Every structure is written in structure tokens, then in C-alpha cells.
Amino acid sequence: MTEYATVARAATAEIEVKRSRFRCRIERVDDEEAARAVVERARREHWDARHHCSAFVLRPGGTVQRSSDDGEPSGTAGAPMLEGLRGREVSDVVAVVTRWFGGTLLGAGGLVRAYGDAVRAGLDEAGVLTRRLSTRYDVRAGHAVAGRLESDLRGRGVHVLGVDHAEQATLHLAVPAGQDLAALLAELTGGSGTADRVGQAWVDG
């Protein structure tokens, strides 16, 4: 796998069904600990709500998936929320739906629809971006050309992760698969720039 989708930004959306309010919070997270922290934050912020149901999908390919009904009838909240995330094929995402009961029972079918609809509304607000697996390089260049080189590399679609300044400037790069960095450096530096491969990284496309 060389790319996958995640959400572009954190977002909130709210729907109402028979006076019950369903507030969905969507956030991008790196691991289970961060996902569970989002759920706990919702509990603290909305302490007056009856339920804080959740679902999250993690890692490229969505290999880690969890959900919680948080007191709702089994299968009526977490499962449809998780299905909402799967349906958009996003990963590294947590959804928390906080419910305030409106006085009317919705039944199992009504709850499934409401929790699923809340997540889809949240995802609509969050938007989607693609993360791509890139090769990381350290490129050394003289200070006189480093600033221009950084600008030129960004213009060619190379991600500049940072720059260190010592005796020479070292640019930390993430290069998309299929891009010939050696040829690009030869063109931009007249052959004076050198690159060392240092690993791989997922980078927002």
C-alpha cells in the first residue's frame, strides 16, 4: 500500500431525530490512546449527555478498528458508526457521537440510522485528503543555494520536512514514489547537491 485516505480536518456536525440530539465529533488520530482521549474529552465537555458512542479506524489499510455502543442497545450505535467510517474508506480517524435523549424512543432501526447519519454528516464537514508513502532523504547544500533549492523542490512536489543549518544546510525531504530525486537535484544544483536516503514516511498529499 502506497496511499490511503484520512480526514482533512477536525469537524463537528449535529443532527436531530425526534428531539434527540446527536452531535458527532470527527478527529484525526495517530493511535488508540489518542482516539480514546477524544472520547474522554467528549465525556468531560458534555457531561449532561446520556451516551458518548465511538468508532475509530487506524493505520494504512484500516487494520485496527474499534467501536463502542456506550450503553445503547448492542449493535445500534458503534457498529453503524464504524460502517460510516468504512464507507468513506478513511483511516487514522475517530468519531464520537454524543446523544442527548429527547424523550421519544427511536427503536433499534432508528438508532442505527441516526448514529450512522451523524457520522456521515461529520465526515462531510471534515473532508478527505490522501496520504502517500514517500521516501525520506537528507540533502546537503551550500547556504548560498539552500533557500532557492528549498523553494524549487517545493515547486516540483517534493515535501520539505525541515532544514538544519550547520557548516552546510541539510534539507529533510519526503519524495513521492516514482520521482527521480537524483536527476532533479542535478538539474537544480548543477550537480553540487548530494542526497542520503534515511527511510520512509507517510506524507499528506
CA 51 to CA 78: how far, in whole Å?
11
Supply the pTM of this predicted model: 0.85
Strands 51-58, 20-28: pairing kind: unpaired
Architecture of domain 133-204: 2-Layer Sandwich (3.30)
CATH 3.30.230.30 boundaries in the chain? 3-126
SS3 assignment, position 40: helix
Contact 189, 139 (CB under 8 A): no
CATH 3.30.70.240 residue ranges in the chain? Answer: 133-204
Phi, psi angles (nearest 5°) of residue 128: -130, 140
Output phi, psi for 84, to 5 deg.
Answer: -65, -40
User: Alpha carbon of 53 to those of 76, 84, 118, 130, 135: distances in Å?
Assistant: 10, 13, 11, 27, 38
- Which class would CATH give 3-126? alpha beta
Phi, psi of 166 (to 5 degrees): -135, -135
Nearest to 152 by CA among 166, 136, 141: 141
pLDDT of residue 142: 83
Cα–Cα distance for residue pair 175/136, rounded to 1 Å: 6
Question: 10-residue block means of pLDDT along the chain (205 residues)?
Answer: 94 97 97 97 96 97 96 97 97 98 95 98 97 92 86 91 90 87 87 85 86
